Amino acid sequence: MTRYRRTYRQVDGQRVEGTWRPVFTRSMDTYFLADLVIYADGAIDCGTGGLTDLDGLAEQLRCGSVATALEEGAWASAHHLAAWRFTEPSSAISAEMLLGEVSDEIDRLNGRPDSTGRCLQAVQTYLADPTDDNRHTVRERYLAIPEHLRVYALGDMDRKDVPLRILITDLGAPLHGRPNGPVVTEQRRAEAVAYFREREIAIETWDARVPADGPERPVHPTLTIPKVVYPRGWPDPPGVEVLQNDYPAVITVGATSYPSVTHAYWALSTSDPHWHDQITAAPRGYDAGLLAEQAPRHADWAAARLAVMTVLLRAKYTQHPQMAQTLLDSGDAHVVYVDSGSAYWSIGSERATNWVGRLLEVIRSELAAAGAGIPLPQPSGSPLS
C-alpha cells in the first residue's frame, strides 16, 4: 500500500513511526481528499479530527465519515487545490479491503509479518509437512489477505497468485476464484508444490548472494562515539574515546600544529590571525569553541566547513596510526557521532545530519584502501590539486 511513504509523531519524547495513504472523507454531501495516517502503535488519523484505532476506523467506514463508495454527481474537494463532481465514479477498494490494508501497515511498521507474510509462512509449513490441516491453514491465511492484494502475494506478475489458488483448492474442484475455470488435478497440485519449492530455493540463493563489490549493508554493529566529558582526564588506555574530535591528538596542517581536531576546526574558521592563535592555545576543545563564538568567521564558512573537517579528520588518522587502527577495528559499521552541541556534525535531534560520523566512514574506507595497497584514483583538474 504505502510502505515507502514515511511519517512519524512524537509521544512522550519518543518517535512513533507512521505511514499514510489517500482516502476520501465525507461531510454532508461533499467528499474530501485526505490523508489516512497509520502509526506503529495502532493509532490512526482519519483526517476527520483526532486519533482513533482500527475499531474506530471501522466505525467511521460504517457511518460513511471515511468513504470507499462514491456517489454519482456528488461534489468532491481537494482542500485549497480543486473541486469537482463525480461522473461515473469507481472505487478501487471496499471498506473491508481498506481495513485489511491498514492492519497490514501496522504489522509492517512493527516489523511483523503482514497478512501476505503469514500466508507465505503457512506455505513453508505445508512444504515441510504436506498435510490437509496445513493446507487448510494456507487457505485461511490466503483469504485473510485483502482481496485486491492477493494477486501480488508471490511477487510474480507472470503466475500472479495462481500457485496459491491451486494449493488451497480441493482436488477435483474448480480453481479458487474461477467457478467455471479448470479443475485442480493431482498433476496441477504437484506443479504448484514444485513451484513453491523452486521459489524457496531461489529466495534462499538471492538472500545469500553477495554483490561483486561486497555486502550491501554493514555486517558490523553500529559504532556510537559518545560525547563524554572526563573532568579527571581521559581514560588510560583510551578506547573509542580517541575518535572524539576533542581528544588531544596533535595534528599538523600546513605549517601549524593544533592540539585537537576541534582546536583546528575553530581556529581555521576565523579570518582574524589574533583569534586564530588564541583559539589554538585554548586548554580544551570546549574552550576553543567558546572563544570561536566571539571571533569573526570567514565569509561563506558554512559552505566550506565540510571540506575543512574532511581535511582535519584525514590529518588526524593519517598522523596517528593507533587511532586509525581504532577506527579500522569498527569494520564496516555505521558510525554515529554524538555531540549535543551541533545537529550538523552529530546525531541526537530530529534535524541531525551526523556529518562527522559520515566523514569517519569515508576516512576509514581510505585507510582500509591504503592498508590493502589499493591505489585511489586521482582526479585531474581538481580545484584542490
- Domain with 237 in it: what CATH number? 1.10.357.40
pLDDT digits (tens, 9 = 90+) for 310-353: 999 999 999 999 999 999 999 999 999 998 778 899 987 667 89
pLDDT of residue 384: 53
Residue 58 is assigned to a structural domain of this protein:
yes
Q: What's residue 50's pLDDT?
A: 87
Q: Look at residue 274 and tell me if it is in a domain.
A: yes
- 377 occurs within a structural domain: no
**Could you list the residue range(s) of the whole structural domain that residue 313 is in?**
223-371
pLDDT beneath 50, residues of the chain: 385
For position 3, what pLDDT does the model report? 53
**In terms of domains, do 46 and 64 share one?**
yes
Shared-domain flag, residues 136 and 265:
no
pLDDT of residue 208: 87
Residues 95 and 127 in one domain: no
**Same domain for 262 and 284?**
yes
Is residue 382 one of the residues assigned to a domain?
Answer: no
Is 234 exposed, middle or buried, given 0-12, 13-18 or 19+ CB atoms closer than 10 A? middle
Residues facing 22 on adjacent strands: 35
56, 83, 106 — which closes off a domain? 106
Same domain for 192 and 236, yes or no, is: no
Contact 11, 41 (CB under 8 A): yes
362 and 265 within one domain: yes
What per-residue confidence (pLDDT) applies to 316? Answer: 98
Q: Is residue 229 located within the same domain as residue 354?
A: yes
Does 381 map to a domain? no
Residue 379 lies in a domain: no
Task: Looking at the structure, tell me whether residues 132 and 86 fall in a common domain.
Answer: no
Same domain, residue pair 279 and 229: yes
Where a domain ends, among 81, 106, 131? Answer: 106
pTM: 0.72
Q: Are residues 228 and 367 in the same domain?
A: yes
Whether 216 maps to a domain, the answer reads: no
Residue 236 pLDDT: 87
- Output the CA–CA distances (angstroms, integers) from residue 157 to 160, 188, 195, 238, 264, in the order listed: 5, 19, 14, 56, 58
Q: What pLDDT, on the 0 to 100 scale, is given for residue 157?
A: 92
Count of structural domains, the chain: 3
Same domain, 101 and 135: no
* 22 and 145 share one domain: no
In a domain, 147, yes or no: yes
Please identify, among 77, 106, 135, the residue that sits at the C-terminal boundary of a domain: 106
